[in-house]
Copies of this chain bind each other. A is one copy, B any other.
Amino acid sequence: MDTGRRRDAARTRAEILEVASAEFADQGYAGARVDEIAARTRTTKRMIYYYFGGKEQLYVAALQAAYARIRAAEQEVDVAHLGPVAAIRRIAEVTFDHHEANPDFIRLVSIENIHRGEHIARMPEADLVGLNTPAVDLLGEILERGRGQGLFRAGADALDVHMAISAFCVFRVANRHTFGAIFGRDLVDPDRRLHYRTMLADMIVSYLSAAE
């Protein structure tokens, strides 16, 4: 069986990045081992330094790739045909599903925050532009529509609403271990999935609908 050419720079690079993403998400930056990443690829440690330069640059590349994947996924939401309330519910639900489906991304973000965002802060501007646009801009439009129809409060800011939605979704996945140990409730139990999804949408909609 011929699995392709013996030399394929793009493929080797991609494979390293994929394995590294998993390893960093799994072990954290300091906990991740370059040798372990190398062992789990079809190539050697030498190639990591050849393509990425070092452990830290590899980590930054993995973080960047994770954000890029997310950005791509977020652009697929279509709520133009929905009323403001239904549109907000949909955005909350899509965000919810999205976080549940990407625990590794949430772990990488947590890890980066443990490092006080020092790596993402050093990323070139070009890699961050566009990361915010899709979800928040959409939220802003819907909020304005809702306000125009007298459905939503005037003082609600799109970025704040996005923050509240993210907080709920991220916490449920990121903090499920300590929460489970202390309170004895599994936040990602499939049987409770719909309950939390509905709760989030209810909470956001009721906040927006309430008088100031």
A183 within 8 A of B: yes
Question: Does A210 contact B199, Cβ atoms closer than 8 Å?
Answer: no
Interface centre among A113, A159, A168, A170 (most CB of B within 10 A): A113
**Interchain CA distance A177-B112 in the complex, whole Å:** 8
**Interchain CA distance A99-B99 in the complex, whole Å:** 23
A172 within 8 A of B: yes
Minimum Cβ distance to chain B for residue A54 (Å): 17
**Interchain CA distance A202-B113 in the complex, whole Å:** 27
Minimum Cβ distance to chain B for residue A93 (Å): 16
Question: Does B167 contact A170, Cβ atoms closer than 8 Å?
Answer: yes
A128 within 8 A of B: yes
A191 within 8 A of B: no
A49 within 8 A of B: no
Question: Does A120 contact B170, Cβ atoms closer than 8 Å?
Answer: no
Interface residues of A in 99-140 (CB under 8 A from B): 107, 109-114, 116-117, 120-121, 123, 128, 131-132, 136
- Other than the given A107-B114, A120-B182, 14 more pairs (CB < 8 A) read A30-B30, A109-B175, A113-B174, A121-B177, A131-B182, A159-B183, A160-B196, A164-B168, A164-B199, A166-B171, A170-B175, A202-B210, A206-B210, A209-B210
A-B contact pairs, 23 of them (CB 8 A): A27-B30, A28-B30, A28-B31, A28-B114, A30-B30, A110-B174, A112-B177, A120-B178, A123-B181, A128-B181, A132-B182, A132-B183, A132-B184, A163-B179, A167-B168, A167-B172, A170-B171, A203-B203, A203-B204, A203-B206, A205-B210, A209-B210, A210-B210
Q: Which residues of A contact B (CB under 8 A)?
A: 27-31, 107, 109-114, 116-117, 120-121, 123, 128, 131-132, 136, 159-160, 163-164, 166-168, 170-172, 174-185, 187, 196, 199, 202-207, 209-210
